[in-house]
């Protein structure tokens, strides 16, 4: 069943009611400006035009959610949609920045694709790295690069010292794509393909015979601060303000001191391992088209289920299938939990 409308502070609205609300009501009531609401509800036609079927985002997505969304009435949560659009706005702002000093160039937001052999035949894996920094070219005419992925968060807390596993795998998938795609792209010399994506600091690059990924980096951003994780080292970040308890009261130190955080390095997987991971992910995605995938668990459930538009239907069906659904229970309404209990009694 198709998208029925949006879920917002007013409850479930049809798309017509949503358009009327955002154009005629003061505010609008959700507090999200209509131009941003338009971005939230607009279909992603670029992926369709580029014929993207298998990508880092589809491999890490909940295949159960995708299947249930085809057969269940659902409403788009504008609050959850804003979080995604917030990231898109950041990416758009960074997408045209020229190279910074000391590098040969940068490649930004370029859609890449490369073939992968699976048990279902050859499939194309596609992705769009946020930033590929072209650092230098060695004596073997291999280009050395750094890959950067931008991520936005509601808040970067003091206990956030390890990058999300999903994003670590994602940036490694980008590294695999870059090694397979970049030489042909750079050697092609087609200004039309380069326009708006490849920004060189100097003259055109020589013929490239290979790619070496020197570093992976994930740049998290909230409205106040940033936090960077790299595959090269344990980075430091400023933690909580330090103080002492004096006469029963907490008093900050003078001069001000802060705890020092150690940020866990990103795991840089071997290309052979990550190709196997991509292959398995593609095969799982294909199989999910005919066999409903099991519910996600653990950290993936915390990341995905909170904003899932079909979580109630997923929970009810999961209980009927015999799954405990403990990881999903926190994100569904008490009435849905009761309905599931009544159905299984």
Could you report the average pLDDT of every consecutive run of 10 residues in the chain (345 residues)?
Answer: 86 94 92 93 82 93 91 90 87 90 96 96 96 97 98 93 96 98 88 84 90 98 95 96 92 93 98 98 94 91 89 93 93 89 77
Mapping DSSP onto H, E and C, the string for 241-276 reads ECEEEECCEEEECCCCCEEEEEECCCCCCCHHHHHH
Q: Is the pTM of this model over 0.85?
A: yes
Number of neighbours of residue 210 by Cβ within 10 angstroms? 13
Domain segments of the chain: what residues? 51-70+103-293, 295-345
Q: Residue 302's pLDDT is what?
A: 87
Q: Residue 342's pLDDT is what?
A: 83
Q: Residue 48's pLDDT is what?
A: 78
Q: Residue 345's pLDDT is what?
A: 64
Q: Residue 160's pLDDT is what?
A: 96
Residue-level length of the chain: 345
Q: Residue 37's pLDDT is what?
A: 93
């Amino acid at each position: 069943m198709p998208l029925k409308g949006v879920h917002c502070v007013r409850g479930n609205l049809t798309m017509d009611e949503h358009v009327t609300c955002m154009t005629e009501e003061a505010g609008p009531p959700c507090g999200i400006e209509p131009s941003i609401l338009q971005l939230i509800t607009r279909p992603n036609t670029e992926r369709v035009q580029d014929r993207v079927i298998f990508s880092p985002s589809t491999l890490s997505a909940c295949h159960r959610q995708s299947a249930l969304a085809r057969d269940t009435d659902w409403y788009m949560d504008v609050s959850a949609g804003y979080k995604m659009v917030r990231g898109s706005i950041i990416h758009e702002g960074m997408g045209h920045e020229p190279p910074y000093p000391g590098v040969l160039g940068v490649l930004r937001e370029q859609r890449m694709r490369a073939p992968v052999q699976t048990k279902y035949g050859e499939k194309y894996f596609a992705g769009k790295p946020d930033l590929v920094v072209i650092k230098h070219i060695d004596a073997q005419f291999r280009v050395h690069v750094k890959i950067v992925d931008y991520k936005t968060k509601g808040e970067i807390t003091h206990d956030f010292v390890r990058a999300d596993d999903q994003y670590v795998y994602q940036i490694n998938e980008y590294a695999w794509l870059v090694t397979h795609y970049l030489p042909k792209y750079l050697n092609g010399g087609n200004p039309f393909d380069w326009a708006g994506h490849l920004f060189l600091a100097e003259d055109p690059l020589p013929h490239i015979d290979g790619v070496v990924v020197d570093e992976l980096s994930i740049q998290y951003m909230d409205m106040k601060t940033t936090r960077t994780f790299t595959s090269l080292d344990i980075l430091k970040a400023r933690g909580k303000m330090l103080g002492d308890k004096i006469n029963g009261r907490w008093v900050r130190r003078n001069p001000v001191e802060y705890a020092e955080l150690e940020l866990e390095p990103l795991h840089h997987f071997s290309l052979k391992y990550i190709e196997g991971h991509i292959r398995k992910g593609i095969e799982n995605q294909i199989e999910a088209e005919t066999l409903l995938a099991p519910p996600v668990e653990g950290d993936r459930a915390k990341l995905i289920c909170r904003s899932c538009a079909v979580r109630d239907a997923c929970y009810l069906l999961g209980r009927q299938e015999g799954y405990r659904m403990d990881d999903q229970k926190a994100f569904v309404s008490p009435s849905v939990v009761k309905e599931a209990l009544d159905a299984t009694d």
